[in-house]
A and B are shown apart, each in its own frame.
Chain A
Amino acid sequence: MATFATNQFKQGLKIMLDGDPYTIVENEFVKPGKGQAFNRVKVRNLKTGRVIERTFKSGESVEGADVVDTDMQYLYSDGDAWHFMNPETFDQVQASETAMGDAAQWLKGEETCVVTLYNGEPLTVTPPNFVELKITETDPGVRGDTATGGSKPATLETGAVVKVPLFIEEGEVLKVDTRTGEYVSRVKD
């Protein structure tokens, strides 16, 4: 894996620190007028999500991390692993429950997700920003009750539960923002 010197540091660069892959969130060049230069960086641990600060002497080198974000198609899940395929190379990978995180609840099949591969293995999976899913179960709304602004839970075909306005009925297809888990709108055919 390549090494990077401090003058190559920039946001998004993937590096190894203390044996874990990190991404640079912020990079600041610090140099008193007549003094030694430093790079003060904020880095996020790609395994734990924790952000820490580190100071490097100018000119120091760090090892790059083999972390690649790849668009992959979700195929299916066999309960233990979630299977993805690279539509260009037809390579397949299996993501663990840890790597899936919250993503699993939004996927029914064939969605293109961003799979972050670390040394070739899925580290995290990011679903598309929006998905369209059918409601399989929800209490009936009170007819005409469009003005109250209340909400009720609705279970989607993947098992995810979202809050929806009272006028939404079972069987309707919803657009959901996977980043917030919130109902966005109805999808009309």
Chain B
Amino acid sequence: MRAFFDDRGVLEVDTPVLGRGASLEPHLASLSLADPFDEARYLQTSPEAHMKRLLAVGSGPIFQIAHCFRAGEAGRLHNPEFLLLEWYRPGMSLAELCNEVGELISLLHPEIDAATETLDYGECFAGITGLDPHGCPDGALRAWLGEQDLPGDLPMRADCLDLAFSSRVVPRLAERGGLTWVQGFPVCMAQLARVDNDRAVRAELFWNGVEVANAYDELTDAQELARRCQAWAEARRGVGLPVPKVDAALQAAHAHGLPACAGVAVGFDRLLMLANGAPSLDAILPFTAARA
């Protein structure tokens, strides 16, 4: 795998798992560490912040296999500590990066059918629910969830979309099997991706219905970053979640100038799980959190 990146001129980096910054995204819960000699720090939920700071000072293409930590995530496909294979390609389009992800997977699992399907989020969603995820009113989404006997009283539109998508669309992807990219996400689900033409320039890769990669045409605009962080802070406040301070260093990196780039985070444990035909992370991790 290292040869794969070396051949392509992508530099391996190793950045700190501990940092002063924490993500403000509403559904990421960062673990914090008290330090008897210094201010409290956070364990990273992804290496994004440090890697973008490197990109801003001219690192060029970089990759990392990072230990990441997300509180409260444990299950067949989740462990609070997990590995992300994350890399950034300045100057590449999202589509080009998605191809590269496909090439890497073929390398790691030659038996996989390289023919990857690409589906449009809006079409999949509408096909199953009859609703347009981009334009339908929030009320229509909640009503549909209620009819399906799914909880509709969720604070954000993105939550409703996620619930509908994971409950009804993802099982179809699992049935079809193989690799499927879903792209053309609604704007409210842009996270740190650029928005273009009323769509988030974001794509997710599913393998046998399991989410294994999340790719963006990365947001580079500092003001837009600040605006989104503010909105997330308010959303967190609204539901009583802790609100970490804005990551000033990441903000500064954007202000300094992040090159246009596509980036991807691949769930490395899941990739190995699926490549080995294992039923759960527990089957391939030497110690899950329950036994660590």
Contacts and interface: CB of A to CB of B under 8 A. Distances in A.
User: 10 shortest A-B CB distances, which residue pairs?
Assistant: A29-B75, A35-B162, A36-B159, A32-B162, A33-B214, A34-B191, A55-B150, A57-B151, A36-B162, A36-B27
Contacts of A31: 27, 73, 75, 78
Nearest to A7: B72
Interface string B59-101: 0000000000000111111100000000000000000000000
Interface residues of B, number: 29
Interface in A20-62: 28-38, 40, 54-58, 60
Interface stretch (B4-12, B124-132, B163-171): B163-171
Contacts of A36: 27, 154, 156, 158-159, 162-163
B189 interface: yes
Contacts of B214: 33-34
A146 B27 CA distance: 69
Interface of B: 25, 27-28, 72-78, 149-151, 154, 156, 158-159, 162-163, 165-167, 189, 191, 204, 211, 214, 265, 267
Contact of A35 (B27, B72, B74): B27
Contacts of B73: 29, 31, 37
Contacts of A40: 167
A55 B167 contact: yes
B151 A35 contact: no
Interface of A: 7, 28-38, 40, 54-58, 60
B27 A34 contact: yes
B151 A29 contact: no
Nearest to A27: B75
Nearest to B213: A33
A89 to B, nearest CB: 35
Nearest to B162: A35
Contact of A29 (B74, B158, B162): B74
B72 A37 contact: yes
A37 B163 contact: no
